Amino acid sequence: AWPALNMLLIPRLGSSERGITGIIARRESLIVGRETVLFQVTGATRTDFRAVKLKENVGIESPDSVVVYRDVAYWLARDGVYKMGEGGEITCISDGKVRNWFNSDTYFNRARFQYAVGAVDPLRNKYYLLLANTGSTDEDRWVEYDINDGTWWGPHKTDDFTSVYMTNILDANGLFLPVICSTAGFVYKEQSTRTDGTATAIDFDVDSKFHDGGTPDIEKVWGQPTLISKIQAAGTMTVTPKVGALNASAGATISADMTLGREVFRRIGTGRFAQFNYRHNTAAQDCELFGQEIGFFELGSR
């Protein structure tokens, strides 16, 4: 029933089965995207509306990834996350340290990019992107881009539920409230008192860097590590050291008492490198690390 005169054909007809993959409405501009190209609709009347090519080799993968916040648009393309600034410039904001998130199969299922979901948290000034893990068909991971300082954080995951959508709703005071929706039909919000549920814990699992003392080709005797942490009411964290080459096997685990704040462990052995894994996965217990120190003595090169 739509009059043919009101239709505008976007070029490259037949080049993709998906056709138009997203629309960005920013100020007075209307950007129409296909998988590998962006067009801007210009004109003042029905007789002179036309599509002008805006960007080649950059398109929109997911319509739900498109978010416009403070006149700046964010969206997911094939090779990363892009933004259109207030002046209309288009830049990739994921190039650099997190480029492999979107250009390899190590982190996410790129075949599911078309189902990615984007949202902005106006309370923390962050752009969130919900994605599927490698080998998964559930959008149960998310990453976040800090709009203020341009840093990326993640990937994140919760074991409490399987996420399917992210958005903002209005609370009882008419203020924006960022929420995550689950496949079971429930809506979850962040809470200030604790970061995990009473039954399902967040699995705090962190690897330190490979310590080499500035001499990566020299054997060393690694001494007693000192761990500094926030004093908690209860809790035990598991520390697993690795000493040797970069492919060293895990050593005997160490139990760290989270109620002490400072704890000195046993000597961990001899090798060119030392690395530590910290893990805490008990529900309703907090864990916050401030730092670690370890002394060493050089033995020489083999």
Confidence at residue 197, expressed as pLDDT on a 0 to 100 scale: 60
pLDDT at position 297 is 92
Q: Quote the pTM value.
A: 0.72
Q: Which pLDDT belongs to residue 196?
A: 56
For 283, half-sphere exposure in the C-beta direction (CA atoms, 13 angstrom radius) is: 9
Residue 162 to residue 14: CA distance in whole angstroms = 36
Phi then psi for residue 189, to 5 deg, are: -125, 160
Burial (0-12, 13-18, 19+ Cβ within 10 Å), 127: buried
Task: Read off the tokens for 234.
Answer: 């209860």
pLDDT for res 218: 93
Taking residue 73's Cβ as centre, other Cβ atoms within 10 Å add up to 21
Q: Assess contact for 55 and 37: CB atoms under 8 A.
A: yes
Amino acid at 204: F
The CA–CA distances, whole Å, from 86 to 68, 70, 74, 130, 146 equal: 11, 8, 12, 25, 17
| Distance in angstroms (rounded) separating the CA atoms of residues 28 and 86 | 12
Amino acid 97: pLDDT: 85
Q: What's 216's DSSP letter?
A: T
First to last CA, the chain: 81
Q: How far apart are CA 87 and CA 59, in angstroms?
A: 19
Counting Cα atoms < 13 Å in the Cβ hemisphere of 216 gives 6
At 163, give phi and psi (nearest 5°).
-75, 155
Q: List, for the chain, all residue ranges whose pLDDT scores fall below the cut of 50.
A: none
User: CB count, 10 Å around CB of 183?
Assistant: 13
